Amino acid sequence: NAGVTQTPKFRVLKTGQSMTLLCAQDMNHEYMYWYRQDPGMGLRLIHYSVGEGTTAKGEVPDGYNVSRLKKQNFLLGLESAAPSQTSVYFCASSYPGLAGGPSTDTQYFGPGTRLTVL
């Protein structure tokens, strides 16, 4: 199993350009997440999905859009990149388990995408 993979690993954009980050997981997890990590700050949740076809906003959603057309993929889009979006982006996935059943619902992270916006 590859676990959680992310594409691309590095990217440099100019202000105003758009791009899509791809996250894929092969663990059959229901839940997927996009975080950003900035120096001196904890991981912050951008958007998340609790199942195919569903998405929801996290703590810092502005300037980003997401889609979950297939269970194994979660896409993060930047329509018009800004320097404030320079960051390391991590995707994660988890399995919530059956209702009332034992599950820590641990999140497993991908290797990250390092994005610089000039």
Candidates 33, 64, 74, 89: give the one binding another protein (CB under 8 A).
33
CB 105 within 8 A of CB 48: no
22 binds another protein (CB under 8 A): no
Give how far Cα 33 sits from Cα of 38, 67, 111, Å: 17, 11, 13
Is 41 an interacting residue with respect to another protein (CB under 8 A)? Answer: yes
Coil/strand/helix, residue 83: helix
Q: Which stretch binds another protein (CB under 8 A): 19-27, 34-42, 68-76, 77-85?
A: 34-42
Least distance (Å) between residue 117 CB and another protein: 19
Which residue among 11, 45, 71, 86 contacts another protein (CB under 8 A)?
45
Among 64, 74, 89, 90, binds another protein (CB under 8 A): 90
Question: Taking a C-beta distance cutoff of 8 angstroms, is the pair 114, 11 a contact?
Answer: yes
Neighbouring CB atoms inside 10 A of 60's CB total: 16
Whether the CA torsion 113, 3, 57, 7 is positive or negative: it is positive
Residue 56 C-beta: closest distance to another protein, Å? 7
**Count of residues interacting with another protein (CB under 8 A):** 25
Asked if 31 interacts with another protein (CB under 8 A), we say yes
Which residues ranging from 57 to 86 are in contact with another protein (CB under 8 A)? Answer: 58
Do the Cβ atoms of 66 and 55 come closer than 8 Å?
Answer: yes
